Amino acid sequence: MRVSIIGATGYTGEELLRILANHPAAEIKYLTSESQTGAKIDSIYPHFNHFYDQALVNLADLDKIVADSDVLFIALPHGHAMEIGKKVSGQGVKVIDLGADYRFKDTAVYEKWYKIPHVHPDAKAVYGLTELYREAVRTADIVANPGCYTTASILTLAPLVKNKLIDLTSIVVDAKSGISGAGRGLNLTHHLPEAFENVKAYNIAGHRHTPEIEQALSELAGSQVVISFTPHLIPMSRGILSTCYARLLDGVTASVVDEAFHALYGQEYFIRLLGRGGYPATKNTRGSNFCDLGWHIDTRTGRVIVVAAIDNLVKGAAGQAVQNLNVMFGLEERTGLTQAPLYP
């Protein structure tokens, strides 16, 4: 199919290009950039030398882009995708948005956390956490690709919430992310001498991935879930580790927990179950679309601790977007996503 990427110069756009370079059915039509229109993509990302040498076009050409594309990936800061989605609605092009605009069923939640009005509230977007919403993705016109922290955190907790194994008021998610998750924009916090040999938390009790995690868990639980979510910056480029804590309900045994994970994910290729006692490591997923999961029962405290590792730019962004693309276009879901992780 013909693919265009709206916002191709950020890390998410770059990663889509990396993955699609080995996707047999995707043909890249247009790449856009407002600030660098006219530049060649391999001058901005020299590692793409021999892969891509397209010149970046401007969003002003949206009509032409839509006419020549079967699907648009939108990799822009929030606020832009809903404008574009509204414009192209009904023109036959599918949209996969890697930002936040279409992630919330209730646009009031979006407006509260993102502090701007939603301009396309009647869009019928599908939340693209593929393993949980695959059937809806299949026929969607707009897919809201989940956030990076979100993907890692929902996947850890879904089997527990869905099967009513945990106290829903007891959930704590402590997540650690490499710095590419913050994007390519310059910021003192991400300047190497500042970020190196350093760890810190940020946006405690206020990170925008919180309501997204809560929305999915609430839906699975059938009642409102509220969580504590704390993100941390780790001195590395790629990878998220999400460590999730919850209190097991009375009588829930270890083997019941095991079964919940195997029942939900046993057939999922991109979810690798390391089992009870397993220790996911971000490096084992680097460059791949896998989410590795391990869980632990703390009998002293009655808690279950589940750990997930993903590559934030792949399963946490571009990889899952391509997984959704495959589902939407009836392709084998692994198409273009068959690379083994890059280790060491």
* Positions marked catalytic: 148
If DSSP codes are grouped into helix, strand and coil, which group holds residue 298? Answer: strand
Show contacts with its own copies in window 75-114 (CB under 8 A): none
Closest residue by Cα to residue 78 from 127, 147, 129, 25:
147
Give whichever of 26 and 309 is closer to its own copies, judged by the CB atom.
Answer: 309
Task: Please tell me whether residue 297 binds its own copies under the rule CB under 8 A.
Answer: yes
Of 33, 285, 323, 324, which lies in the binding site for its own copies, with binding defined by CB under 8 A?
285
Amino acid symbol at 29? K
Give whichever of 10 and 85 is closer to its own copies, judged by the CB atom.
Answer: 10
Show contacts with its own copies in window 225-264 (CB under 8 A): 226-228, 230, 232, 234-239, 241, 243, 245
Of 188, 251, 267, 330, which lies in the binding site for its own copies, with binding defined by CB under 8 A?
188
Give whichever of 128 and 287 is closer to its own copies, judged by the CB atom.
Answer: 287
* Run of H or E residues at 219: helix 209-221
DSSP letter at 33?
-
- Among 1-9, 90-98, 134-142, 295-303, which window interacts with its own copies (CB under 8 A)? 295-303
Total residues contacting its own copies (rule CB under 8 A)? 86
Q: Minimum CB separation from its own copies for residue 259, in Å? A: 20
Give whichever of 123 and 297 is closer to its own copies, judged by the CB atom.
Answer: 297
Of 27, 106, 135, 194, which lies in the binding site for its own copies, with binding defined by CB under 8 A?
194
Q: Minimum CB separation from its own copies for residue 337, in Å? A: 11
Angle between helices 319-328 and 130-138 (to 10 degrees): 30
Site string for its own copies, 122-141 (x = CB under 8 A): --------------------
Label each residue of 76-105 as H, E or C: CCCCCHHHHHHHHCCCCCEEEECCCCCCCC
Residue 343's CB is within 10 A of a number of other CB atoms, namely 11
Task: Please tell me whether residue 202 binds its own copies under the rule CB under 8 A.
Answer: yes
Q: Minimum CB separation from its own copies for residue 264, in Å? A: 17
Place of tokens 């890697």: 98
Task: Please tell me whether residue 187 binds its own copies under the rule CB under 8 A.
Answer: yes
Task: Please tell me whether residue 267 binds its own copies under the rule CB under 8 A.
Answer: no
Region class of 328: left (phi > 0), else alpha (psi between -120 and 50), else beta: alpha
Q: Minimum CB separation from its own copies for residue 140, in Å? A: 27
Of 122, 197, 251, 267, which lies in the binding site for its own copies, with binding defined by CB under 8 A?
197
CB-based contact 319:325 (threshold 8 Å): no
10 contacts: CB under 8 Å, gap ≥ 6: 75, 76, 183, 184
If DSSP codes are grouped into helix, strand and coil, which group holds residue 75? Answer: coil
Label each residue of 95-163 as H, E or C: EEECCCCCCCCCHHHHHHHHCCCCCCCCCCEEECCHHHHHHHHHCCCEEECCCHHHHHHHHHHHHHHHC
Of 23, 29, 209, 272, which lies in the binding site for its own copies, with binding defined by CB under 8 A?
272
Show contacts with its own copies in window 12-71 (CB under 8 A): 14, 17-18, 21-22, 45-51
Q: What phi and psi values does residue 57 have, to the nearest 5 degrees?
A: -110, 175
Task: Please tell me whether residue 180 binds its own copies under the rule CB under 8 A.
Answer: yes
Task: Please tell me whether residue 172 binds its own copies under the rule CB under 8 A.
Answer: yes
